[in-house]
A and B are shown apart, each in its own frame.
Chain A
Amino acid sequence: MFAPDDIRRWSDALAADPASLVYADLAEALRRQGDLEAAERIARRGVERHPLHAAGMIVLARVAEQRGDAAAAALWWERARHAEGRGAAALAATNGHGAPHHARRTSGAMRAIPRRPTPAGPIRAVSFRGDSPTPTFVASFGTPRPELVRSLVADADGLLLASPTASDDLPVLEAMAAAVAGVGDIAARAARHLGLGPWRAIVLETTGDALAIAPASEGALTVLSVARHVPPGRARALLRLAATRAAADGF
């Protein structure tokens, strides 16, 4: 159990050092108090800053469970397990940087990650905005398309919302989601300032795979990585299809 002044102490510590891993303890304490909104906000910021820190993902999984969002909970448990191995090394490194107590507790939390059923094959689409799972992105996008290397929906904070791509590709998908954060803001600003109207698509051809991005709801982005042999017109058509169907899924 948490001591009565724990929340204040951890809040002060996080205010003094926003990079502190104590965010997970604070979020967990808030969750236990029933303040799910604050717990989720703090945990998500922490996970965004520390993408290998399983303790924050565990808090997010528990918040999702309390909200009855089983799909979101399953994804966060899966991410926590995925981060557990890689995060252990990073966590060990923090022991020498002023957070040994928290590090020990977090290590215990990681060992406590339950073995939840892992979604077979593709990651299922998840909405963290509502109380019920959103229909899957993979279901509405249709059958796998050889032209698509990867496809995903990323939220405005650069976190992965959904993807039909195989879960063993998760690190790349998360890196893509993080990398496109802010692109939509720049595109919107450019379109507005230059009188282009609301922006609909960005397509960047490269010597490798092309990148195609379209706006989704609430600042989210639909993102495609299109194979290099695909003509640019086809890439744009695929983006339109993906954006339309992602919108139909509520993204």
Chain B
Amino acid sequence: MRFAERLDPLLAAPGVLCALVVAREDGIVVEGTGHVGVDTDAVAALAASLFERAAAAAEASDGGTPGFLHLEGEAGRLCVVPRGDLLLVTVAEPHANLGLLRLAMRRQADALGG
């Protein structure tokens, strides 16, 4: 599957707990899996909601087209990259290499097309 091929490299990265392709408009999971205990539906919904709200705020400050979003918590990270009508979403542990994850997500998002 096209989406699964994009997600597998992300899931294989150290510290990544969940990788999803999400419909941007309604926050529904299109494809993806996560470690046991990860509520992927909740990840998708919350990631889409946060991304849209942050994108609207960026627009108010003369920001351009939104790209990589990173929510940093004390115990983990939520990362989102948009591609057309889709969002590529990951949840990762705090020790995950954010730089590598960002590059990997952007690369896989580009491969999704849009």
Residues of A with Cβ closer than 8 Å to B? 149-150, 172, 175-176, 178-180, 182-183, 186-187, 189-191, 193-211, 213, 223, 225, 228, 232-233, 236
Question: Given A194-B78, A198-B73, A198-B74, A207–B65 Cβ distance below 8 Å?
Answer: yes
Task: Out of A172, A191, A196, name the residue touching B62 (CB < 8 Å).
Answer: A172
B62:A202 contact, CB within 8 angstroms = no
Of the candidates B71, B74, B91, the one having the most CB atoms from chain A within 10 angstroms of its own CB is: B71
Restricting to B39-71, which residues have a CB under 8 Å from any CB of A? Answer: 39, 42-43, 46-47, 49-50, 53-71
Report the minimal beta-carbon distance from A221 to chain B, rounded to whole angstroms: 10
**B75 within 8 A of partner (CB):** yes
Question: Given A190-B47, A196-B77, A196-B78, A225–B63 Cβ distance below 8 Å?
Answer: yes
Q: A203-B69, A225-B62 are in contact. List 4 more A-B contacts (CB 8 A).
A: A179-B59, A179-B60, A202-B72, A211-B63
Question: Given A207-B65, A211-B63, A232-B102, A183–B71 Cβ distance below 8 Å?
Answer: no
B67:A195 contact, CB within 8 angstroms = no
Return 8 A-B CB contacts under 8 Å, by A number: A190-B46, A190-B78, A196-B76, A197-B76, A198-B74, A202-B50, A208-B58, A208-B64
Q: In whole angstroms, how far apart are the Cα atoms of A85 and B60 in the complex?
A: 22
Of the candidates B60, B69, B77, the one having the most CB atoms from chain A within 10 angstroms of its own CB is: B60
Q: In whole angstroms, how far apart are the Cα atoms of A183 and B39 in the complex?
A: 21
